[in-house]
Amino acid sequence: MIKTYMKPRKIKPRAIKVREYKVKPIVVRREAVDKDFLKYIKVVRAWARHKHGLSIQDFEMLCYLYSEHVFDANQFDQYCQIFGFTKNRRLDLMEKGLIVHFRKPEPGKRAIYELSHKAKAIMRQVYEMLQGQKPIPKLSDIKPKNNKPHHFATRQYDRVIGRLNKDF
């Protein structure tokens, strides 16, 4: 038998003091938002891009022109300056059928333009979706113009749209 000089140590249970904190409720003062529709703008813009083949610049241009009613080339070009360079954006929108002549150019009178019935209908739908008057259709239900299969981003948008439409 081996003799040891160390005695086995007894471990005594110790009481640990735990400090209790008083939990104060967090008070947040926030003004109530009357119309909180801009948080859905990305989803609605994706719908417009997918359904009508609009680029982001075209969509934003339509948003601006929708409130202008009639405009001339100078007004169009002034707002067009904040976008990337595209030669003849006005002509491109006219070829897509989104802008039409309100008054054709005549001697001594310049041309005046307006949004077409198609563009006004698109913007009316956009406003109805943003204000919650109309549910946002899922992107996978829309037949794409280029006949390509739906991608991962489309499925992600569909999930978000499904959550948004539960409020209806």
Q: Is pLDDT above 60 for 1?
A: no
Is residue 79 within 8 A of residue 70, CB to CB? The reply is: no
8-42 residue pLDDT tens:
677 777 777 777 777 777 777 777 767 677 888 88
Please state, in angstroms and rounded to a whole number, the distance separating the CA atoms of residues 128 and 135: 8
The DSSP annotation for 101-140 comes to EEE--BTTB--EEEE-HHHHHHHHHHHHHHTTSSPPPPGG
Question: Sign of the C-alpha dihedral, residues 15, 19, 22, 27?
Answer: negative
47-74 residue pLDDT tens:
998 888 888 889 999 999 998 889 888 8
Residues 6+ apart with CB under 8 A from 21: none
Which of 125, 128, 122, 130 has the alpha carbon at shortest distance from 42?
130
Please state, in angstroms and rounded to a whole number, the distance separating the CA atoms of residues 57 and 29: 37
0.75 surpassed by pTM? no
Question: Residue 126: exposed, middle, or buried by beta-carbon count in 10 A (0-12, 13-18, 19+)?
Answer: buried
Quote the pLDDT of residue 147. 61
Q: CB neighbours (10 Å) of residue 123?
A: 19
